[in-house]
C-alpha cells in the first residue's frame, strides 16, 4: 500500500528525514514511533502530499505522490495533530464539505454513515467551535474517513485528550483498524500503539532505526531490578532462572532481565537476600523503542 524509497527532506542544512525506506502492506496497521523532532510529521506530510520530498519516492496504492498527487490524496485520509476544523461550521456541514473536497460527488450518504460510525449524530447540527476537545477530535477523524480512504494516516491522534477520552479514542481506532483500511499511526503513547498496531517503525534523527512486529514483541518481556548488595555471581544466578533469556548488568546493582515468561516471583526470591530495592516489569515495546533511539542518540 505504501512504498517509501530513499525519502529525504532537507531544510537548508538541516536534514529532517534522511534516506528513509519502508513498506506497508494493504490492511496493515503500523505504528510510527520516534522522539520529538525525529522526522515523523515531516514524513507523514510527504506521504499525504502536503510536502514535496527533496529526494526519494513515495508510492501510495501504486501512485507516485510527486507524479499523481491528486490520485494519492483521493486515497488518503489524514488527521494531523491539531484537527483541521472550521469552527464556524456545524459538524454536518464540515464533514459534508470535507467529503466534497475529497472528491465525493454525493456525500450525504457517506456523511450520515460516518457520523453514525463515530457516534456524532447527536452533535451533527452543533457548531464545531462549541464542542469539547474529545468530540472535536472525533469530528477531525470524521473528515479523515468520510471518503472511505484506503490509507488512513493519524498523527498523534490522542494528544491533548484526557485519559477517559484517550480510552474512548483508542476503541474508535481499534474499530477502524479492524476493517481493511491501511492505518499509519504516529504516536508517543506506546500502550496505544501496542494495543492497535500490527507492526511498528521506529525513526530517530530522520532515519529508520527499528522495525518490530507487535506479535514478536509479545513473546518476550523484561524486568528491571535493583538490589542494595550486588555480587559478581548475581547475573549468572539470574541467568539460570527458568525462562530467563538474557541478563544485562547496569551498575549500582541494576539489572535488566529478559525472559520468555513471567519470572518476577522467582527473580524476587533470588534477589531478596541481596536487599531488593526495585522490581518493575517493562513493556517490550518500550524497551525496543528506548534501545533503538538511545543507541542512535549515543552513537
Partner 1 sequence: MKIWLIARAECMSLLRTPTGWLVMAGVWFICGLMWSLSVFAYAATLADQVFDPYAVERLTLVDWLLGPWWGNLSVVLVFVTPVLTMRSIAGERASGTLELLKTSPVTSLEVVLGKFFGIWAFQALILCGTLHAPIGLALLGTSAWGAVGVAYGVLWFFAGALTALGLMCSSMTRSQVLAASATFAIGLTAYLVGVFNAGDPTAWHVQLSLSTHLIDGLRGALRLSDMVYFAGVCAVCLCAAWQRLESERWA
Which residues bind to partner 1, rule: CB under 8 A?
A: 11, 48-52, 69-71, 73-74, 76, 78, 80, 82-89, 97-98, 100-103, 143
Q: To the nearest whole angstrom, how small is the minimum distance from the Cβ of residue 49 to partner 1?
A: 6
Asked if 85 and 133 count as a contact pair (C-beta separation under 8 A), the reply is no
Where would I find the beta strands (DSSP E) of the chain?
A: 2-11, 14-24, 29-33, 55-60, 63-64, 76-79, 151-155, 182-186, 199-204, 207-213, 221-227, 244-251, 254-259, 276-282
Please, which residue, 8 or 226, has the CB nearer to partner 1? 8
Please, which residue, 14 or 215, has the CB nearer to partner 1? 14
Distance between CA atoms of residues 38 and 287, nearest Å: 18
Please, which residue, 53 or 210, has the CB nearer to partner 1? 53
Q: To the nearest whole angstrom, how small is the minimum distance from the Cβ of residue 59 to partner 1?
A: 17
Q: To the nearest whole angstrom, how small is the minimum distance from the Cβ of residue 185 to partner 1?
A: 16
Distances (CA, A) of 147 to 51, 96, 143, 217, 259: 22, 10, 8, 34, 45
Q: To the nearest whole angstrom, how small is the minimum distance from the Cβ of residue 277 to partner 1?
A: 47
Q: To the nearest whole angstrom, how small is the minimum distance from the Cβ of residue 133 to partner 1?
A: 14
Q: To the nearest whole angstrom, how small is the minimum distance from the Cβ of residue 127 to partner 1?
A: 9
Phi then psi for 263, rounded to 5 degrees? -115, 15
Please, which residue, 70 or 239, has the CB nearer to partner 1? 70
Cell numbers describing residue 256: 535488566
Please, which residue, 150 or 296, has the CB nearer to partner 1? 150
Please, which residue, 52 or 272, has the CB nearer to partner 1? 52
Distance between CA atoms of residues 279 and 270, nearest Å: 12
Asked if 9 and 17 count as a contact pair (C-beta separation under 8 A), the reply is yes
Task: Sort strands 151-155 and 76-79 into parallel, antiparallel or unpaired.
Answer: parallel
**CB hemisphere CA count around 137 (13 angstroms):** 21
Amino acid at each position: 500500500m505504501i512504498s517509501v524509497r530513499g525519502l529525504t527532506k532537507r531544510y537548508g542544512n538541516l536534514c529532517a528525514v534522511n534516506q528513509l525506506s519502508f513498506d506497508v502492506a494493504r490492511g496493515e496497521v503500523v505504528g510510527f514511533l520516534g522522539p520529538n523532532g525525529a522526522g515523523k510529521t515531516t514524513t507523514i506530510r510527504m506521504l499525504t502530499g502536503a510536502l514535496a520530498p527533496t529526494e526519494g519516492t513515495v508510492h501510495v496504492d501504486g501512485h507516485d505522490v510527486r507524479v499523481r498527487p491528486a490520485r494519492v490524496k483521493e486515497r488518503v485520509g489524514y488527521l494531523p495533530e491539531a484537527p483541521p476544523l472550521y469552527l464556524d461550521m456545524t459538524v454536518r456541514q464540515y464533514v459534508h464539505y470535507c467529503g466534497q473536497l475529497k472528491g465525493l460527488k454525493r456525500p450525504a450518504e457517506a456523511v450520515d454513515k460516518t457520523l453514525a460510525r463515530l457516534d456524532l449524530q447527536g452533535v451533527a447540527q452543533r457548531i464545531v467551535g462549541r464542542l469539547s476537545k474529545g468530540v472535536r477530535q472525533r469530528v477531525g477523524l470524521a473528515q479523515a474517513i468520510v471518503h472511505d480512504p484506503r490509507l488512513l494516516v493519524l498523527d498523534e491522534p490522542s494528544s491533548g485528550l484526557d485519559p477517559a477520552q484517550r480510552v474512548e479514542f483508542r476503541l474508535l481506532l481499534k474499530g477502524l483498524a479492524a476493517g481493511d483500511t491501511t492505518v499509519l499511526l504516529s504516536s508517543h503513547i506506546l500502550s496505544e500503539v501496542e494495543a492497535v498496531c500490527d507492526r511498528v517503525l521506529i525513526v530517530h534523527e530522520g532515519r529508520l532505526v527499528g522495525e518490530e512486529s507487535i506479535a514478536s514483541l509479545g513473546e518476550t518481556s523484561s524486568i528491571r531490578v535493583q538490589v542494595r548488595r550486588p555480587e559478581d555471581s548475581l547475573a549468572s544466578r539470574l541467568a539460570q532462572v527458568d525462562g530467563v533469556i538474557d541478563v544485562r548488568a547496569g551498575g549500582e546493582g541494576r539489572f535488566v532481565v529478559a525472559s520468555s515468561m513471567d519470572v518476577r516471583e522467582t527473580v524476587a526470591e533470588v534477589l531478596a537476600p541481596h536487599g531488593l530495592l526495585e522490581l518493575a516489569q517493562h513493556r517490550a515495546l518500550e524497551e525496543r523503542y528506548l534501545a533503538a533511539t538511545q543507541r542512535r542518540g549515543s552513537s
